[in-house]
Amino acid sequence: MQEPGAIGLGLLPLPETERRHVLVIGAGLVGLSSALWLQKAGHRVTLVDREPPLGNASFEQACSYGNACTVAPHSVVPVATPGVAWRVPGMLLNPLGPLAIVWRYLPHLSPWLRAFLASSGTAEVERIATVLSNLLAQSDAAWRPLIDESGAQALERRDGCLYLYKTEAQFQAAEAEASFRERHGVALDRLDKAAIRDLEPNLAPLYQRGVLFRDAYTFSSPRLLAFALAEAIVRRGGTFVGGEASGLEATETGIRVWVAGGELHAAHAVVAGGAWSRALARKIGDDVLLDTERGYHVLFPAAGALLKRPVCYPEHGFYMTPMADGLRAAGTVELGGLKAPPNRGRTAMIRNGVQTLLPAAGEGTREWLGFRPSMPDSLPVVGNSPTSPNMTYAFGHGHLGLTLAGITGLLVVDLISKRKPAIDLSPLRPDRFSRFGGRR
Ligand SMILES: Cc1cc2nc3c(=O)[nH]c(=O)nc-3n(C[C@H](O)[C@H](O)[C@H](O)COP(=O)(O)OP(=O)(O)OC[C@H]3O[C@@H](n4cnc5c(N)ncnc54)[C@H](O)[C@@H]3O)c2cc1C
């Protein structure tokens, strides 16, 4: 892991003349991290969200609420990999598979899906993994100052993350991926059955082999993490406005936003609206090829102490993560847009899976559907609007928004402060898929 000095934190705060008022639209983990980093740089922030994470807010509408709680530096492999095109018919035919496409959404999805398939070639996957590994290498260092300032250290658990395989053949089939990860800097240990049992004695012994990703860690409650960040922002003088941002306009001196029956104006704005960011960007004239990978979780309240770390059987497509409220089984991917109702068959499948893999888990209670903001190449958008110089985009983090929120915030500061970013941002530019069209 890189030290903070290496990612430009030494440059902050900015001189008085370079400080600006910035509106951040979206108070999920990406917006919150961006806002707190902007404040650390000396900027003044106002955050707009339908339900800011303050007071008694449930925060359940945000994807940042319901994820698998894992900071995952091992996630250098994009979703689209060579051969994924052959799996598309299966994705359509099996609505309960780990990666499924909702039939009636297919016409809307087609530009995104074409770009997804175009991102799956060997050379593209290699390029994407290199970009991801550069971001991931800095993810922890960029989280540290935010965690320290928000007093969220007690939420962290550093026990790695375990992937398990039921057969030696499955493990051997995954070996190419493990080597790929190692080549991209991931620290991992290959485990036999006895070593897995020592680490996680409560699992049903259905596994033969496993991989431990040593540098992964969890936050025991992403909701409390969000609330801690929001309180830190308020302590620094930041303000939150509750309501839907219904209009955006570039003005001569900045950006105007319509919210809750009123208008806000600032020198600059950041769209960090998660899966709803495409609609926000359109209001200012940009079309970004963002869609959503819907994901689910089921909470097993009595099972929180049964595992020490997140455990995932890749064939099931979900993580089982011990957290403050119990055990959260979270994951799977459904390409189906923002409007379709939850598929209860999918949560039933997660419940059955947990009861098989962790027999003492007890009953699953609450279920949640969330919307990963996803670009076709599994890379986020971090860049300025091609049409409005005072607008910055920070969304599209897909499976990695919790992991990459800190480093995204730091890159947002670089963009707004007109500093050379710590990382080459050209692979993350908002218009990188414009050749696929897609306004719908
Ligand atoms: C099942 C599942 C498991 C996951 N597990 C992990 C994991 O273990 N590790 C990891 O790193 N990532 C994980 N993720 C992904 C991660 O949760 C997301 O990438 C991340 O939460 C995205 O954060 P965000 O701030 O961009 O969006 P969000 O958290 O969705 O926040 C966007 C906010 O913007 C607000 N907003 C949008 N439009 C408007 C508007 N017009 N007006 C006002 N407010 C608006 C929304 O209300 C929302 O609060 C998982 C996701 C899922 C679904």
- 276 CA from centroid of ligand 1 (Å): 10
Nearby residues of 380 by Cβ (< 8 Å), 6 or more positions away: 135, 394, 395, 396, 397, 398, 400, 401, 404, 408, 428
Question: What letter represents residue 217's amino acid?
Answer: Y
State the closest ligand 1 atom to the C-alpha of 297, by its place in the atom list counted from 1: 1
26 CB less than 6 Å from ligand 1? yes
244 CB less than 6 Å from ligand 1? yes
State the closest ligand 1 atom to the C-alpha of 330, by its place in the atom list counted from 1: 1
29 CB less than 6 Å from ligand 1? yes
62 CB less than 6 Å from ligand 1? yes
Listed in sequence order, the DSSP H helices in 94-212 are 106-118, 122-137, 139-150, 168-173, 175-183, 193-199
State the closest ligand 1 atom to the C-alpha of 332, by its place in the atom list counted from 1: 1
State the closest ligand 1 atom to the C-alpha of 293, by its place in the atom list counted from 1: 53
Looking at the domain 7-436, which fold is it?
FAD/NAD(P)-binding domain (3.50.50)
Contact 298, 370 (CB under 8 A): no
Other C-beta atoms within 10 Å of 10: how many?
Answer: 8
- 337 CA from centroid of ligand 1 (Å): 14
401 CB less than 6 Å from ligand 1? yes
Other C-beta atoms within 10 Å of 21: how many?
Answer: 16
| pLDDT digit string (tens) for the chain, length 440 residues | 444 444 555 556 888 988 999 999 999 999 999 999 999 999 999 999 999 999 999 999 999 999 999 999 999 999 999 999 998 888 888 888 888 999 999 999 999 999 999 999 999 999 999 999 999 999 999 999 999 999 999 999 999 999 999 999 999 999 999 999 999 999 999 999 999 999 999 999 999 999 999 999 999 999 999 999 999 999 999 999 999 999 999 999 999 999 988 999 999 999 999 999 999 999 999 999 999 999 999 999 999 999 999 999 999 999 999 999 999 999 999 999 999 999 999 999 999 999 999 999 999 999 999 999 999 999 999 999 999 999 999 999 999 999 999 999 999 999 999 988 989 999 999 999 999 975 54
- 194 CA from centroid of ligand 1 (Å): 37
The residue extents of the domains of the chain are: 7-436
